[in-house]
Structure 1
Amino acid sequence: MNNPDFRITEDLLASKNSRFVNHLIDLAPQYAISYGLAYLFFYIGEFTGYYGLNDFLNGLSTFEDLLYTYSLMIAYFFLMESLTSKTLGKYVTKTMVVLPNGQKPSHLDILKRSFCRMIPFDGLSFLGTNGKGWHDSISGTFVVDTAKFEARKTSYSELDQIGVLQE
Structure 2
Amino acid sequence: MTNETFKIKESMYAGKGKRFANYIIDRILVTSLFSAVGILLGVMAESSGDYEMLMWLEHINPVVDYLVTGVLFSLYYIVFECWTQKTIGKMLTKTIVVDENGNKPSVGSIIGRSLCRMIPFNHFSFLGSKGRGWHDSLSKTYVVDVKTQEEQKQLFESLNKLGEIGEEDFD
Specify if TM > 0.5.
yes
Question: How many residues get paired?
Answer: 161
Question: SS of the counterpart of 2:103?
Answer: coil
Please, which runs of 5 or more residues in structure 1 have no aligned partner? none
Distance 1:71 1:82 in 2: 16
AA in 2 matched with 1:104:
K
Q: Which residue of 2 aligns with 1:114?
A: 114
Q: CA deviation at 1:104?
A: 0.1
The answer to whether the 8 A contact 1:99-1:141 is kept is yes
TM-score where L is the length of structure 2: 0.85
Q: CA deviation at 1:153?
A: 2.2
Q: 1:160 to 1:49 in 2, by over 3 A?
A: farther
Distance 1:127 1:158 in 2: 34
1:83 has 2:86 as partner: no
1:53 has 2:53 as partner: yes
Q: Which residue of 2 aligns with 1:151?
A: 151
TM-score where L is the length of structure 1: 0.87
Q: CA deviation at 1:159?
A: 4.1
The answer to whether the 8 A contact 1:100-1:142 is kept is yes
Q: Which residue of 2 aligns with 1:124?
A: 124
Distance 1:93 1:83 in 2: 18
AA in 2 matched with 1:70:
G
Q: 1:158 to 1:48 in 2, by over 3 A?
A: farther
The answer to whether the 8 A contact 1:123-1:133 is kept is yes
Q: CA deviation at 1:13?
A: 0.6
The share of aligned pairs that are identical, in percent, is 40
Deviating more after overlay: 63-72 vs 149-158: 149-158
Question: SS of the counterpart of 1:118?
Answer: coil
1:103 has 2:103 as partner: yes
AA in 1 matched with 2:111:
L
Q: Which residue of 2 aligns with 1:62?
A: 62
Q: CA deviation at 1:113?
A: 0.4
Distance 2:120 2:45 in 1: 36
User: Rg larger in 1 or in 2?
Assistant: 2
AA in 1 matched with 2:115:
F
Q: CA deviation at 1:24?
A: 0.9
